[in-house]
Structure 1
């Protein structure tokens, strides 16, 4: 089994009350996930609001996380930025800090050719000696990773896998086939984790894992053991939580508010992402109780990673 196989929380941002990155809060947030049955953390991705942060803010967030949990959780760093130069700088910084791997989306806004995206990624791959994980999320970037480009990149020893956040499990299976037997595929859409596993995913990286890591760790273990009826029931229960989270002004705002109820302060999401409102308080408390009840039911069935 690859040392990177398993479940990774896509870590949220951690800001102070003025909206600045808070190393102290970032460290406390990272510490919260130790012992939850996870393989590690994915820092600076969509859930981490990396695209909304400056290069220096992204560095500060990573440094705080690594200082707190280095050696206890594997740390994959999202280094993708609009400019290739910033992405290269973040790649080098991740290696210098002692991260375990790097990952990146294509540059966004411009509709880039496949050759342009390949060059963008290749410069990050060449900038550090760390393993590289492609991040494919076509619904937000406008670029869909082809099986042929995946196969080409996977021939490099440093390119070890792909985070497949596209909504097609057929597409996930095709990328797994293109990459080869040892090529890792991480399921991206949390609501179809089990379907992704059934089609060849080796683990998952997800944002809603952050408010229910124990449930996703248990779901992964059920899938590992082939207990599909039980796994399906748990996925349906998880999806009920996700559906409720999506009813708030922003998913990340709701998740951060739930963590606040548990004493983990991470600040509001950065605009244009909206925070929850005071009127959402009672429903968020009820949702948190539902999550904690489910976690209690699965307390005797911890994840293995």
Structure 2
């Protein structure tokens, strides 16, 4: 198991380097540059070239990346040339918002999806068909339509939930929970449908195996078969889906934070990209990549817990 973790960590270091380089190159290839954003609409070519020289934008792309990488390896992500804000501090301020959204949506998706999947696999019939319909609906419903419908119903018509904004957990736990209901529901709906379908399929495959028939023949209770044996053996694909769901929600937060005006990393990434703020973009990219690395490592550890064979590979 230690060899597996060590190998994953080595791969993760390479992944962070490749992703940060790709993000730097893509942003550098985008139309416009940071100097134009700072100068605004009206500027002289001389002023533009002078500012590009001051910012180091006239140097080769790889040289610019190398300077940024040296600073990053030293633990300094720099500051935004536009806002003057420290990149690390700005990310630290916004990270709890994004993590709150993703963590809550992942927990709700997992619990609701596993419950629906297990019930439909055990009961079958109409419940099983309902899960299939729910999966199709979850895939088909546009997230923006669902988000706007939720806002119209619960924030405008009934007025029981806030339409936008975020309340910090330390400021008001109740306000924090209320501010997350609509965005978390928007993120969780498609994932719950997929989770229910995948859990149902995994449970049906497990319940059809020979050892389950033997357990029933030996008089083992149905609840013990389902929760102690079948669900444990069906857990590996479910754990995989938990990791994929968490990672997939990183991109979903970009949309949700924009719709619900939440000060998270998704909105910061959009704003930084529009302003060609390469230092802020690189900081967000590195944090997102580290989150992906951490989630994948946790999934590997969960594999080792659920399947002892993985520990010795």
TM band (smaller chain): under 0.3
TM-score, with structure 1 as normaliser: 0.25
Which protein is richer in helix relative to its size?
Answer: 2
TM-score, with structure 2 as normaliser: 0.24
Computing the radius of gyration over CA atoms, which structure comes out larger, 1 or 2?
2
